[in-house]
Amino acid sequence: MTSPTTAAVPGLTADEVAARVAAGQVNALPDRSGRTVSDIVRANVFTRINAILGVLFAIVAFTGSFINGLFGLLIVANSGIGIIQEVRAKRTLDKLAIVGQTRPRVRRDGVVKELPPDEVVLDDIIEIGAGDQIVVDGDVVEAVALDVDESLLTGEADPVDKDPGAHVLSGSFVVAGGGAYRATKVGGEAYAAQLAAEASKFTLVSSELRSGIDQILRVITWLLIPAGILTIVNQLFISQNGIKASLLGMVAALVPMVPEGLVLMTSIAFAVGVVRLGQRQCLVNELPAIEGLARVNVVCADKTGTLTENGMRLAEVRAVEQSPPAPPETVLSALAAHDPRPNASMQAIAEAQPQAPAWTPTAVQPFTSAKKWSGISFRDDAGGADVGNWVIGAPDVLLDPESETASVASELGSTGLRILLLGRTDVPVDSEPAAGSSVPGAFVPVALVVLEQKVRPDARDTLEYFAEQRVAVKVISGDNARSVGAVAQSLGLGSPETSVDARELPTDTEQLAEVVESGVTFGRVRPDQKRAMVKALQSHDNTVAMTGDGVNDVLALKDADIGVAMGSGSSAARSVAQIVLLDNKFATLPYVVGEGRRVIGNIERVSNLFLTKTVYAVLLALFVGIGGVVGKMLGTDPLSYPFQPIHVTISAWFTIGIPAFVLSLAPNNERARRGFVRRVLLMAVPNGIIVGLAAFTTYVLVNPGGAGVEVGGDAVDLSPAQTQAATATLMTLIAVAVYVLAVVARPYTWWKVVLIAASAGAYVIIFAWPFTQHLFKLDSSNWEMNSVALTSAAIGIVAVEAVSRIVPRVVAARDMRRAPVNSSDQADSSDQAKSID
């Protein structure tokens, strides 16, 4: 290890900083949210959906029937609402990013200042210590046992010793020791600038949900072409309606095929999720993390800083050696005073023992999570004599487990106290350990240091929430296993006796997965073991969230499905986590998980509505088109498309549009599962077929025959009989579609009942009020046709109810036959089948 470096570079002067700023040599960082306002506007205006609707609106405008172009307002609504919500989310992200960003300590004019990373300039001297992220590329100018982990850049897990003159890359982080480096590359030239930009973007990609919706939209886009051709051929050449009426019929057939609000609702749900989490001081570094949170079924929580407060109190120093060369309290105060980056334990010691002796370090061995101890060799300033080589660390690592001192330490630790051991060696602490030993030289225990940990008052409620939601919690810590078990037991989780010592864990992934899944608390876990435990859980198809705040959690945070870091944690931990709890409250996590479930569950609900509409629109167009061709061949009356564009527009207002918006923002706590597209199609396709068949049956039964256009009238107006037939057909379609809404909205609450009743009531007014009948080209005066419509609707409603009861049971049975990986999946499948009753 490197000895302390005495050089102290004062850093740049104010004039030198000003010159570099003027020259543009500043660490200018990309927009935290990844998109400017203009980017958001373009992304929401120039969409595939808007392009399709825009073309269809232009066709309607050509016919001159602008009332039939009312669906064009969807372009404005889709773009406007999407822009507002994403800009709002962007501002939330930007504000939180300022709070949660790493603030490097920079020397200027000989004074150390904490600055935002975008104020660092070329040649700045930046101080670093354990847990700090390297914010810009540079060359080391000072080093005290400085070890840097570059695994996030190179994939090499072993820390790299950095001496003065060595190069450090942004994106790496310090695992031990401290020092300072000179910035040699800033802004876009720094290695991590690209990584930070990618990790912080407000993005809607890389998620099963988004990719599933994109797949559905691609299929729909291809369906529009043959459906449009078939409809225009039927309208123009078979029914001979004329070019304008034919175009309107084609548009009426194609508009409902476009799930115009699905992408909008997805964007809104994600954006609102960001804002809601932001209100709870939760920074979302990667937006797809919200989706991942909905699928979490295992939470791996670090003990210190998560279940317990970061702060500690020195309770007792219990001497072990009869007559040590120096009082243990004096040694502890010296160790704390000369630790450049004290952790919570050393801070507690420093507070209790503030009077440090006049000793100078001659050798330093910083603490690392792998070896579980640190040490300093001292020389007395007064006499110049060596005053010992002192080590402090974990008793069960430093001691023979069979020794009396180890037994005492284990007994104290089993009560939930944190126990450290102070000892001494006969060689400098930076010497190489002897074979079979964890410390250099002959180790002599001196005193047990007893620290009290305070359990977070909200930890129990948080753990109970996860238990209710069937989310398994694994407490993973570097502390003594019995101590971890005792703390967890006080919160109703595990016990000291069942706590697993990670030094005994198997290395085989399959065996490790079995141990981790069956265990609850784990102690003495090394950073590489945390990572291995996460991967083992993932190998059994678990979706794992990892919480942590220290540099020892970085690798596990990075590999977990969702990494959650505490805002007060190390900058390295915050940089790799997808979620940062800026308020440092473990109790915020249930709200984070709940928000993810709300977003994904609601998007799945509204997807059922939109895709049901797409399916019945495609089927109705095909049925009418094929029916027209068959009728032409048989010499029967032509079968024109029953609706005008205004009819399909109003049919979506209260069956999909407004209800979908409300449902997308509603509470929803069901854990999401994989297979989004399959589940949605299993419900939407049967429901769409039922709606389409019911509407087509009504139309065939009430079809008055003829071309459908009033002779001698406006080319875009239907004849009175055709208008009555269209009205009856629309009644059937809307009635069954409203019932689909009622099924999707289950389980009911008072506001859902009001929503469904209001939707049905709105259509009663539209069909009964003369003003709306005239405005929307309806005629409900023919009760012979209306009775056919209501009968078909009743049959369709019964069929929808049957599907809603049968399909979930079939899916649940199939999932169980496929042997779900854990009991919570089985419970979810069973609950899904029961929830329909």
Alpha-carbon span 189 to 793, nearest angstrom: 66
Region 184-208: mean pLDDT is 59
Name which of 310-319, 408-417, 521-530, 707-716 the model is least confident about: 707-716
pLDDT reading at 5 higher than 50: no
- What is residue 801's predicted lDDT score, i.e. its pLDDT? 94
What's the whole-number average pLDDT of the chain? 81
Beta-carbon neighbour count of residue 249 at 10 Å?
Answer: 29
Residue 67: per-residue pLDDT: 66
> Taken in order 348, 349, 354, 358, is the CA torsion positive or negative?
negative
pLDDT digits (tens, 9 = 90+) for 124-182: 999 998 878 888 899 999 988 888 887 766 656 567 888 899 999 887 888 888 889 99
Quote the pLDDT of residue 277.
83
pLDDT tier for residue 288 given thresholds of 50, 70 and 90: low
pLDDT, one tens digit per residue, over 112-128 is 988 888 889 999 999 99
With cut-offs at 50, 70 and 90, classify the pLDDT of residue 641: confident
Catalytic residues: 302
Helices (H), 665-718: 676-702
Could you check whether the bond before residue 645 is cis, i.e. omega within 30 degrees of 0?
no
DSSP β-bridge partners for residue 563:
546
| pLDDT exceeds 80 at position 520 | yes
Instruction: Give the pLDDT score at 392.
Output: 94
Does residue 427 contact residue 284 with C-beta atoms inside 8 Å? no
End-to-end CA distance of the chain: 68
* Helix H or strand E encompassing 378: strand 373-380
pLDDT score at 281: 84
* 3-class state of residue 757 by DSSP: helix
pLDDT at site 827: 45
Residue 1 predicted with pLDDT over 70: no
The predicted pLDDT at position 794 comes to 96
pLDDT at position 797 is 96
Of the two residues 134 and 76, the one the predictor is more confident about is 134
Q: How far apart are CA 558 and CA 531, in angstroms?
A: 9
Q: Is a pLDDT exceeding 60 seen at residue 837? A: no
CB 497 within 8 A of CB 545: no
- At residue 834, does pLDDT exceed 50? no
Average pLDDT over residues 271-276: 79
| 798 compared with 610, residue with greater pLDDT | 798
Question: What is the reported pLDDT for 34?
Answer: 55
Q: What is the mean pLDDT of residues 496-518?
A: 90
Residue 825 has pLDDT above 70, yes or no: no
pLDDT in the model for residue 830: 44
The least confident of 174-183, 537-546, 554-563, 808-817 is 808-817
Q: What is the pLDDT of residue 736?
A: 96
Q: Which residue has the higher pLDDT, 28 or 443?
A: 443
pLDDT of residue 389: 93
Q: What is the pLDDT of residue 157?
A: 59
- Per CATH, which fold does 203-275+593-834 belong to? Calcium-transporting ATPase, transmembrane domain (1.20.1110)
pLDDT > 80? residue 257? no
Q: Does residue 2 surpass a pLDDT of 70?
A: no
| In CATH, 308-455 is 3.40.1830.10 | no
Report which listed range, 20-29, 187-196, 807-816, is most confident. 20-29
CATH number for 14-30+101-199: choose from 2.40.50.140, 3.40.50.170, 3.40.50.1950, 2.70.150.10: 2.70.150.10
* Higher-pLDDT residue of 828, 658: 658
Tens digit of each residue's pLDDT (9 = 90 or more) over 420-462: 999 999 999 988 887 778 889 889 999 999 998 788 888 888 8
| Average pLDDT over every residue of 49-74 | 74
Reply yes or no on whether the pLDDT at 734 is more than 90.
yes
Predicted confidence (pLDDT) at residue 264 exceeds the cutoff of 60: yes
pLDDT digits (tens, 9 = 90+) for 685-716: 999 999 999 999 999 899 876 544 443 334 45
Residue 203 pLDDT more than 70?
no
Judge if pTM exceeds 0.85.
no
Residues of the chain with CATH 2.70.150.10: 14-30+101-199
Q: Which of the four pLDDT bands, split at 50, 70 and 90, describes residue 333? A: very high
Tell me which of 787 and 323 has the higher pLDDT.
787
Domain with CATH 1.20.1110.10 in the chain: 203-275+593-834
In this prediction, residues 655-684 reach a mean pLDDT of 80
Q: Output the pLDDT for position 521.
A: 92
pLDDT of residue 534: 93
Query: pLDDT value at position 96?
Result: 64
Nearest to 605 by CA among 597, 595, 594, 617: 597
Q: What is the pLDDT of residue 758?
A: 95
pLDDT score recorded for residue 154 = 61
What letter would DSSP give residue 597? H
* pLDDT reported for residue 693: 94
Question: How far apart are the C-alpha atoms of 464 and 709, rounded to whole Å?
Answer: 66
Q: Please indicate whether residue 483 or residue 714 has the higher confidence score (pLDDT).
A: 483
282-306+456-582 maps to which CATH number? 3.40.50.1000
- What is the per-residue pLDDT for 3? 41
Residues of the chain with CATH 3.40.50.1000: 282-306+456-582
34-40 own/partner pairs: CB under 8 Å, 24+ apart: 34/197, 34/200, 34/201, 34/202, 34/203, 35/86, 35/90, 35/201, 35/202, 37/87, 37/90, 40/83, 40/86, 40/87, 40/90
